[in-house]
Every structure is written in structure tokens, then in C-alpha cells.
């Protein structure tokens, strides 16, 4: 395992697999997350923001939580996926209503990046609308960011929204095109890889038995994910794909991955 010597800003739409990813990151002292950007995707931006505040309160962290986009660049109403992630994005878990006193605004994101972009890693596991907006408004700054890790796309593999489209790229194809065009040093974790990264019911039982605190949230979420969607849509599948976790796993276990350079 290796320690990541960069600071991470996590862009997500915080449904079940994003939530498990955040729990993993919080449990791993080798990862230094300095900001979380919430945006629409699995559920609305408002619900995503509530989910992140709920998850982060377990650790009483001082991570900045910044609200990003609420709809795609097409200006169309976004599609949500309650049948996969539940009405509130966390399966059967409904966070208690919390009074969010101060919502960080978009410009706060620039303040996180600007002092030393070369030390920043950006991970995006949801729609790419906010990230694309940054490239349009601050191209020079974003080109100085160390690297980008993106979960999205489906290459020579069936999509999960249409026969050829993966949800994150399909949800805002304009934004996805902008990011693919301008992001330097980007690593993509597409559906053809993440769909095979399964967490089985047996693994979940071990986590639930041995885990504490936030880890106790994982079993009800993943059980919902598996029983309500994957088991029905993919008969015989051994577990639930944890799509959004792969970029974070690669930070500290890069040797288990093989990469290929390609234009997108």
C-alpha cells in the first residue's frame, strides 16, 4: 500500500456506491480529502448535499462541502434513479433532517485549487457538469491540476442506461466531451472495468461484523443495491459492482490495475 502525497477533491452524486467510497476514504488515513463537491445525478443536488453532511458528521471532519451543478449543460431536467439507489440515494437509509447553516458556494472551490493546483488530484464519480464548468471558466488553472480520476463511459461494452451509454457520461454528454477534450493526465475507470468490481454478500457480512461507526451503514445500503436492482437486472451476478470505489482503491493499490493510453 502506498500513501498518496496529494490533496484530493471528490466530485460525486452520492448514491450508494459513492457513499461507500466516501466511507472507505474516511477510513483510510492514506487519503487526504480536502473538499467534496455535491451535484445532481443519482438523486437531486439538494439530497446529495444532505447525504454528504450526514456521512461526514460521523468523523466531525472539517472538509469543505461545496455545492456544484443541479442540472446538465443541456438545461434539461435530470433523470434520477430511485429504483437503484432509493429515494434518498442511500437505499433504505433516510438521514435525519439537518439544518445546514452555511452552504459553500462554487467560488470556494477555486480557493481550494488556486494556492497549489499541482498538489491537487480531482476524482469525479458522477456527472461531469461542474468539472466541465471549471474547464470553461478557469482553463489555465485546471490545466495545472496534477491529475484527474474519472468513473464514467463504457468502451466496447454494453451501457447501463442505453445499449451503449453509461450513466455519468449519458447524464451530461456535453460536459463529458469537454472534460475528455481538456483534462490533462486523466485516468478513466469505465463501466467495462467497474462492472466487474463486485462486493459479495459474504464480504458485506464480514464488514458488518467487524466494522464500527460509519462502516455499519454499508450493509443496509449494499443489500438494497443488490436485492432491489442488480440481482433482478443481472440474474446470477455474484454481488454488487462498486463502480465509484475503483479510483480510490487505485491510489493505494495501483499495482493491481493495468492501464492503456487511448484517445476518448
Which pLDDT does position 235 carry in this prediction? 94
pTM of the model: 0.94
Sequence-separated (6 or more) residues with CB below 8 Å from residue 231: 237
Which pLDDT does position 7 carry in this prediction? 95
20 with 242: CB under 8 angstroms?
yes
Domains of the chain: 7-197+242-255 (3.90.245.10)
Within 10 angstroms of residue 185's Cβ, the number of other Cβ atoms is 11
Which is more confidently placed, 239 or 184?
239
- pLDDT, one tens digit per residue, over 43-82 is 999 999 999 999 988 766 679 999 999 999 999 999 999 9
Assess whether pLDDT exceeds 70 at residue 12: yes
Assess whether pLDDT exceeds 70 at residue 103: no
Which is more confidently placed, 168 or 156?
168
> What is the chain's length?
264
20 with 204: CB under 8 angstroms?
no
State the average pLDDT for the chain: 92
Sequence-separated (6 or more) residues with CB below 8 Å from residue 189: 149, 150, 151, 152, 243, 246, 247, 250
Q: How confident is the model at residue 149 (pLDDT cuts 50, 70, 90)?
A: very high
Which pLDDT does position 59 carry in this prediction? 65
- pLDDT, one tens digit per residue, over 186-237 is 999 999 999 999 999 999 999 999 988 888 999 999 999 999 999 999 999 9
DSSP 228: I
Which pLDDT does position 1 carry in this prediction? 53
Which pLDDT does position 136 carry in this prediction? 98
39 with 84: CB under 8 angstroms?
no
244: left (phi over 0), alpha (psi -120 to 50) or beta: alpha
Round to whole Å and give the CA distance between 207 and 223: 12
Round to whole Å and give the CA distance between 72 and 127: 8
pLDDT over 70, % of the chain: 95
Assess whether pLDDT exceeds 60 at residue 2: no
Assess whether pLDDT exceeds 90 at residue 99: no
Amino acid at each position: 500500500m502506498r500513501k498518496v502525497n496529494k490533496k484530493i477533491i471528490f466530485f460525486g452524486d452520492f448514491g450508494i456506491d459513492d457513499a461507500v467510497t466516501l466511507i472507505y476514504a474516511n477510513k483510510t488515513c492514506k487519503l487526504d480529502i480536502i473538499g467534496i463537491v455535491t451535484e445532481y445525478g443519482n438523486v437531486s443536488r439538494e439530497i446529495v448535499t444532505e447525504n454528504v453532511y450526514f456521512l461526514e458528521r460521523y468523523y466531525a471532519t472539517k472538509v469543505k462541502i461545496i455545492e456544484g451543478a443541479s442540472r446538465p449543460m443541456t438545461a434539461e431536467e435530470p433523470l434520477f434513479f430511485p429504483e437503484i439507489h432509493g429515494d434518498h440515494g442511500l437505499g433504505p437509509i433516510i438521514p435525519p433532517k439537518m439544518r445546514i447553516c452555511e452552504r459553500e458556494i462554487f467560488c470556494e472551490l477555486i480557493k481550494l485549487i488556486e494556492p497549489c493546483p499541482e498538489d491537487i488530484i480531482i476524482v469525479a464519480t458522477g456527472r461531469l457538469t461542474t468539472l466541465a464548468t471549471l474547464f470553461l471558466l478557469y482553463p489555465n488553472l485546471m490545466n495545472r491540476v496534477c491529475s484527474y480520476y474519472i468513473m464514467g463511459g463504457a468502451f466496447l461494452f454494453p451501457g447501463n442506461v442505453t445499449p451503449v451509454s453509461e450513466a455519468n457520461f449519458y447524464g451530461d454528454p456535453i460536459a463529458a466531451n469537454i472534460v475528455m477534450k481538456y483534462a490533462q493526465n486523466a485516468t478513466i475507470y469505465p463501466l467495462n472495468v467497474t462492472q466487474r468490481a463486485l462486493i459479495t454478500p459474504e464480504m458485506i457480512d464480514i464488514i458488518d461484523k467487524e466494522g464500527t461507526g460509519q462502516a455499519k451503514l454499508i450493509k443496509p445500503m449494499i443489500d438494497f443495491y443488490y436485492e432491489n436492482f442488480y440481482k433482478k437486472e443481472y440474474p446470477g451476478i455474484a454481488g454488487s459492482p462498486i463502480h465509484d470505489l475503483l479510483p480510490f482503491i487505485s491510489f493505494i493499490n495501483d499495482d493491481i490495475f493495468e492501464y492503456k493510453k487511448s484517445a476518448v
